[in-house]
Amino acid sequence: LSDVEQDAGSIAAAGIRQHLAGHEQQQQQQRRRTIAGLLLAVTTGVLGGLILAPMDFVGRECRGLPYQAALAVGVLAAALPVTYCLHWLQTGKVGTSLPLKPLAAAPPGVTAGVIWAAASASSMVASSTIGLAISYPIMQSGLFVAGLLGIVLYGELYSWKPHLVYWSSGLVLIGGIALVSGAGRQQ
């Protein structure tokens, strides 16, 4: 091989190595994002399951709707700091400004907040009247509703197998709600 051919081969090999290294770096970033997403999903499940737990530490007169008002103050106080911390974790850049888009985000964000507040207040009144053992399993049907919205609005399931799993899990969820609610009534 001539010097030119060897140089071309070396350059090509270096380019391939660089391309493979870039591809491996992208895969590592994707793995990190996936792990972070899974950890945040678990955090959501754990913290979401604990929302009503502090209500046990207040007197009966403060449960239900009075607790909802205090919860709203907590949400208001924590929303920006928590959002900033998650932004920092996502970008790795401390001190960067939040990418807030108030004109675009406000209408759907406020709508979601109103829906959340109505659901939260309803859950508190339900749990204070019929108890957590009965009300909380029923409230978990929100997972099924969220999945249904994903299917209907975003077309998330494409073939019959995922649909079969989804609808089967819905039947299991309904059965579980009935069993736990029935057990709660017997106490």
- 96-141 pLDDT, tens digit per residue, is 777 778 788 889 999 999 998 898 888 888 887 887 777 877 787 8
- What is the identity of the amino acid at 54? P
- 14-66 pLDDT, tens digit per residue, is 777 776 777 788 888 888 888 888 898 888 888 887 887 887 788 878 877 88
pLDDT of residue 5: 65
More confident residue, 113 or 177: 113
Contact 65, 127 (CB under 8 A): no
- Helix or strand (DSSP H, E) at 145: helix 142-154
Q: What's phi and psi for 99, nearest 5 deg?
A: -80, 65
Helix, strand and coil content of the chain, in percent to the nearest 5, comes to: 85, 0, 15
Tell me, yes or no, if the pTM score tops 0.85: no
d(CA 174, CA 61): 32
Look-up of token digits 């508190």: 124
